Structure 1
């Protein structure tokens, strides 16, 4: 069945032509070799039908990857794993802060900063080499909800209020201050246009191109603990409540696994899984 003949339904309800190349690309992103990728593409293609949902396609590919190697499945489910950081946005804020820290920034989550008009709670305050970033995180718990232009409009007004107050302080006059928005979904065209126009740093699942959230996570091996195939949902929520959001953090704070009463054998398997993800 040719890919141009099948219409699939996205989470948003939109109908699009199925792209074999997009499926192949996402599978390669998991670390699977060309032979395995082709096997899965062939299997999924044979099971396609008009009106199949992207979720069904994802689930089928995920199962096939997991049968072969769990670490491939973990990387493939990255986008879903970030949604699982919810239902509140706080773990996502910690996740963004952790990514920035591994890029050399000092961060603070939930910092209260005075503006010219009012005080604001900043999701992530980040500082590196005299550069200060005031970052707001827009977390969506379900697919299909993108950040429209209202988001950078609102955030830019808050940023400008804080920036004006910041620049009045003599002890911070040498710092270069920038505002930013990070989301786990995507920005609309108008949101991108406005954000770029006013100079906001924008980061989404796939923006900037080749340097979006998914690219940075893969490049730096900064996977959220929610990608784990061995931890239960209860265990993941326990770790998130202790601000352990990255697999790398779990390697440092593996004593939390003892608090959960995890057996030595299972603990060894979890640590091995996490180590492979961090190396990949």
Structure 2
């Protein structure tokens, strides 16, 4: 089959040409070896048909990776795992806070800061030496939702009110951040740059987006696990365990899930491999 003529349907409903290079890149990103990547590409290519959904391609590649090695599948589902943090957005704030904590910052989440005009609930406050970050996290549960210019517009006005209150004090923030699990529109990026906001999304800034930071630091959310059930993940999230590293550092929480020792060992093995890659 000539894959260059195959069109796939994206989650937004849009059609696009199937790209073997994109599939290959995502498979390599999982850490899979050359032979595994080639085998999966060949199998997926043989099962393509006109109008196949990108979700179906993802599910097939995921299943093949999981069969080969669970850690490959766990890394492959990273983007989906971020969405699985939950519709409230609260675990996402905790996740961003945990990322910054393991990056050497002193972090507080969900704190109230008084502005010059009104008070503001700040999702994440992170301090390291002279750097003082106040970050707003915008979580979207739908893959097709982008973070448009209204978001940095609104956050910039809040940031300015906070700066005005702390003018000429040591507690004055030095950076305002906007963090999202999806993507920023072009206007949002342009406005953010113009107003001096730091924007962090799934793939922005280039080579330093969420995806890159997570891989570089080995700070994967517990939702990447291919061995735990949704209920088990939600139990851990409800207790502010959002990173695999947190679970590896304190296995106490697994004891409350009522799982067998054999399964517990398998889960911890997967978690430790993710933390050490």
TM-score relative to the length of structure 1: 0.96
CA distance in 2, matches of 1:3, 1:203: 34
User: Contact between 2:163 and 2:173, CA under 8 Å: does it hold in 1?
Assistant: no
Report the equivalent of 2:243: 246
Distance 1:171 1:191, change over 3 A: closer
User: Contact between 1:130 and 1:176, CA under 8 Å: does it hold in 2?
Assistant: no
CA distance in 2, matches of 1:8, 1:265: 41
The Cα offsets for residues 243-265 of structure 1, whole Å up to 9 and x where unpaired, read as: 00000000122111111222222
CA distance in 2, matches of 1:49, 1:279: 38
Deviating 4+ runs (over 6 angstroms):
none
CA distance in 1, matches of 2:201, 2:142: 15
The Cα offsets for residues 147-167 of structure 1, whole Å up to 9 and x where unpaired, read as: 011111111111111111122
Report the equivalent of 1:39: 39
Shift of the alpha carbon at 1:176? 5.4
Q: Say which of 256, 259, 262 aligns to 1:259.
A: 256
Distance 1:2 1:188, change over 3 A: farther
Gap regions ≥5 residues in structure 1:
none
Q: Say which of 222, 226, 240 aligns to 2:223.
A: 226
CA distance in 1, matches of 2:218, 2:239: 21
CA distance in 1, matches of 2:244, 2:173: 32
CA distance in 2, matches of 1:261, 1:104: 34
Shift of the alpha carbon at 1:17? 1.4
User: Contact between 1:12 and 1:145, CA under 8 Å: does it hold in 2?
Assistant: no
Report how many residues are paired: 277
Gap regions ≥5 residues in structure 2:
none
CA distance in 1, matches of 2:170, 2:225: 44
Q: Say which of 177, 180, 204 aligns to 1:180.
A: 177
Distance 1:190 1:171, change over 3 A: closer
Give the RMSD, CA atoms, in angstroms.
1.1
Equivalent residues in 2 for 1:1-280, closer than 5 Å: 1-168=1-168, 170-172=169-171, 177-280=174-277
Shift of the alpha carbon at 1:124? 0.4
Secondary structure of residue in 2 paired with 1:86: coil
CA distance in 2, matches of 1:151, 1:245: 25
CA distance in 2, matches of 1:3, 1:216: 33
CA distance in 2, matches of 1:159, 1:230: 41
The Cα offsets for residues 106-125 of structure 1, whole Å up to 9 and x where unpaired, read as: 11110100111100000001
The Cα offsets for residues 119-142 of structure 1, whole Å up to 9 and x where unpaired, read as: 000000111112111100010112
Secondary structure of residue in 1 paired with 2:254: helix
User: Contact between 1:85 and 1:91, CA under 8 Å: does it hold in 2?
Assistant: yes
User: Contact between 1:146 and 1:188, CA under 8 Å: does it hold in 2?
Assistant: yes
CA distance in 2, matches of 1:236, 1:72: 19
